[in-house]
Copies of this chain bind each other. A is one copy, B any other.
Amino acid sequence: MKLQKISSAKCFDGEQLRYVHYSDVLQCEMKFSIFLPPKAKEGAVPVIYWLSGLTCTDENFVTKAGAQEYASDFGVAIVAPDTSPRGIDVPDDPEEAYDFGLGAGFYLNATQEPWSKHYNMYDYIVHELPQLIASEFPINSDLSSISGHSMGGHGALTIALKNPELFRSVSAFAPICSPMQCPWGQKAFGNYLGDDESRWKKYDTIELIRKSTERLPILIDQGDADNFLEAQLKPKLLEQAAMAADYPISLRIQSGYDHSYFFVASFIGEHIKFHAKNLL
């Protein structure tokens, strides 16, 4: 099965579509959503990849963020993949916790058993999915940006920092800034990547920004009423690392906002405008 449409709905004069396909790198069927703006009827359009957070599927962003209005206005597509491999053959956290296993792929390639067979979200997001998108949709892959929320903010930042040639800009809402230095990340990385913390560094934004040589436009919004701010997200570590590395980033602390999609919805328009400016 190469690609099968699950649903479609007109939205802000564009199309909100959902597909299922078989992923070779994840060895399971995967669903993703894609919004095509009205301009896609006339030719290839730029694309923003959206990576979601813990517990999400491809649908949370699509139904809750209100991004289609802006994507329609600016003429950009948005691809929203799932957050982990899926299916009865895919192992989950033995305790079915929300922060590891299904819904918690952390956008890395696992090296440890039993995770390494399926949990290769890094290769899926960086290689397999964009190739599929480029071959099947009116997308100009040379004009790609990436964004995400929480675990997906970590994914967007690490993937962009590791592949600056693939993206024009990157943004994040309440990203996990240093998985190596927070409980969510330590649990996931320990299980997916093993105990040797030196191997964790290639998936840690703080470590990557220290070593980066190229510069991408980076926009980050973080609510100061976010329950996960101090223990899990730690934007100050990123601010310090970026300053030390002389890497300009725009990190905005938004007063009163929490970790929810009400926060994402409030600023998604500005993020899409930011990406559009770098894509168009």
Contacts and interface: CB of A to CB of B under 8 A. Distances in A.
Interface of A: 9-13, 16, 63-64, 66, 68-69, 223, 225, 256-258, 260-263, 265-266, 269
A13 B68 contact: no
Given A12-B266, A266-B11, A261 B63 contact: yes
B66 A262 contact: no
Given A11-B266, A66-B69, A69-B265, 10 more contacts: A9-B258, A10-B223, A10-B256, A10-B262, A10-B263, A11-B263, A11-B265, A63-B261, A66-B66, A68-B262
A258 B16 CA distance: 12
Contacts of A69: 66, 265-266, 269
A66 B64 CA distance: 8
A68 B265 contact: yes
B11 A262 contact: yes
A265 B12 contact: yes
Contact of A66 (B256, B257, B263, B265): B265
A225 B10 contact: yes
Contacts of A263: 9-11
A252 to B, nearest CB: 14
Contacts of A256: 10
